[in-house]
């Protein structure tokens, strides 16, 4: 398989950034007369550089779009993907994209959860998660983290949580929530809050997470947290999702949009519900609201967006 063919395959697998990536790559082929002399790793470096450049042109959290926008993105793509988008359209009406910068899962969680609280005004849920956040802080302290390394991130998340509850001087609207989610000084701090919570939960239950981490990498739990959880820009997988869901007691549904099909040849959209159990919750409590998914995320290889039910 030639270099150009390999890049084409990579594009099909990673269409999650934007169609403009394809245009940019095709342009680079035209502008480079000896592209065929490039090594595979150089081709992929070029591809990744274009993706990174295009990702930074997108806001951290985008506007809500009709699901037809997703269908338009794959008009000339895999027939299996097209069929799965039709199936998604039976249950979901809209999508909200996030920037593909490695922090997309945490930004999805941030906006979807705060939006849920803004719309539900569920004070009992706010009180519940505050108790879990306090327990997460104690977990980090017990693990030897100095409080000054994470206290600002925790404080900012709690501030955003308070602001979506109406009736206060600091209450904000949905538009203001979106504006704040696009403000790097707010968005990145909340992402770091989630990363510390996730790292603390993984370390607290190291024996449980170790087999999963060894299946993903050849790292110890401590090294995995330092290299793949705490730094900004590191992508999330099922370990991160499970740990965050368990630590905060918030259930998450993830729909998987990929090219897989059933053995029978039929097409269906797989999903997984990350539901924290009572024993997994840091303070040993949960409730019916927390046990039911309060958000649905769409996963495409390497990227998460938010889905909205009909």
Q: Give tens-digit pLDDT for 114-160.
A: 999 999 999 999 999 999 999 999 999 999 999 999 999 999 999 99
> Would you state the pLDDT for residue 274?
97
Regions of the chain where pLDDT drops below 50: 1-36, 47, 284-289
In a domain, 262, yes or no: yes
* Active site annotation includes 303: yes
Candidates 51, 301, 30; CA nearest to 4 is: 30
> Would you state the pLDDT for residue 175?
98
In a domain, 114, yes or no: yes
In a domain, 177, yes or no: yes
> Would you state the pLDDT for residue 17?
41
> Would you state the pLDDT for residue 59?
95
Q: What is the DSSP string of the chain?
A: --HHHHHHHHHHHTTTS-HHHHHHHHHHHHH-TTGGGS-HHHHHHHHHHHHHHHHTTS-SEEEEEETHHHHHHTTTS-HHHHHHHHHHTTTEEEEEEE--SS-HHHHHHHHHHHHHHHHH--HHHHHHHHHHHHHHHHHHHHTT--GGGTHHHHHHHHHHHHHTSTTSTT---HHHHHHHHH-HHHHHHHHHHHHHHHHHHHHHTHHHHHHHHHHH-S--HHHHIIIIISSTT----HHHHHHHHHHHT--EEEEE-SS---TTS----EEEEE---TTTSTTS---HHHHS---EEEEETTEEEEEEE-
Give the domain CATH number at 154: 1.20.1300.20
**Full domain range(s) for residue 242:** 71-96+103-309
Candidates 171, 143, 163; CA nearest to 229 is: 143
> Would you state the pLDDT for residue 8?
41
> Would you state the pLDDT for residue 52?
58
* Active site annotation includes 273: no
Name the token pair of 246.
Answer: 């368990």
In a domain, 42, yes or no: no
* Active site annotation includes 246: no
Residue keyed to tokens 């303070």: 283
In a domain, 31, yes or no: no
Provide the domain count of the chain: 1
Is there a contact between 226 and 220 (Cβ–Cβ < 8 Å)? Answer: no
Catalytic residue among 101, 246, 280, 305: 101
Candidates 51, 46, 50; CA nearest to 3 is: 46
Exposure string of 64-83, with b = 16+ CB inside 10 Å and e = fewer, is: eeebeebbebbeebeeebee
Catalytic residue among 104, 108, 136, 225: 104
In a domain, 258, yes or no: yes
Q: In what order do the strands lie in the sheet with 92-98?
A: 61-66, 92-98, 303-309, 296-300, 252-256, 270-274
Distance CA 305, CA 255 (A): 10
Name the token pair of 182.
Answer: 């696009």
> Would you state the pLDDT for residue 48?
53
Distance CA 103, CA 105 (A): 6
Span 89-127, pLDDT tens digits? 999 999 999 999 999 999 999 999 999 999 999 999 999
In a domain, 244, yes or no: yes
> Would you state the pLDDT for residue 77?
84
Catalytic residue among 47, 225, 303, 305: 303
> Would you state the pLDDT for residue 215?
87
In a domain, 21, yes or no: no
What is the number of alpha carbons within 13 Å of residue 253 lying toward its C-beta?
Answer: 14
To the nearest 10°, report the CA torsion of 9, 10, 11, 14.
130
Global pTM value: 0.81
> Would you state the pLDDT for residue 218?
87
> Would you state the pLDDT for residue 266?
83
> Would you state the pLDDT for residue 5?
41
């Amino acid at each position: 398989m030639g270099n150009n063919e390999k890049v084409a395959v990579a594009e099909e697998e990673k269409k999650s950034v934007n169609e403009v990536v394809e245009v940019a790559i095709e342009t680079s082929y035209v502008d480079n007369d000896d592209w065929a002399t490039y090594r595979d790793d150089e081709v992929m470096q070029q591809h990744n550089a274009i993706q990174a450049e295009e990702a930074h042109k997108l806001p951290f959290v985008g506007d809500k779009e009709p699901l037809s926008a997703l269908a338009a993105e794959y008009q000339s793509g895999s027939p299996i993907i097209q069929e799965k988008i039709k199936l998604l359209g039976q249950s979901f009406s809209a999508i909200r994209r996030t920037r593909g910068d490695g922090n997309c899962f945490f930004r999805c969680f941030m906006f979807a959860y705060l939006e849920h609280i803004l719309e539900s005004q569920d004070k009992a849920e706010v009180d519940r998660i505050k108790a879990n956040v306090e327990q997460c802080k104690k977990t980090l302290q017990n693990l030897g983290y100095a409080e000054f390394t994470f206290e600002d991130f925790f404080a900012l998340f709690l501030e955003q949580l308070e602001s979506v509850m109406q009736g206060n001087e600091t209450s904000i609207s949905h538009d203001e929530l979106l504006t704040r989610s696009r403000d790097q000084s707010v968005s990145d701090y909340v992402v770091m809050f989630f990363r510390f919570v996730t790292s603390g939960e993984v370390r607290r239950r190291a024996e449980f997470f170790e087999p999963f981490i060894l299946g993903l990498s050849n790292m110890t739990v401590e090294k995995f947290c330092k290299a793949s959880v705490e730094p900004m820009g590191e992508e999330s997988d099922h370990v991160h999702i499970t740990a965050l869901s368990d630590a905060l007691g918030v259930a998450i549904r993830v729909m998987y949009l990929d090219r897989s099909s059933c053995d029978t040849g039929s097409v269906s959209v797989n999903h997984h519900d990350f539901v924290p159990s009572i024993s997994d919750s840091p303070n040993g409590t949960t409730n019916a609201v927390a046990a039911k998914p309060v958000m649905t995320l769409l996963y495409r290889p390497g990227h998460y967006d938010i889905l909205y039910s009909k």
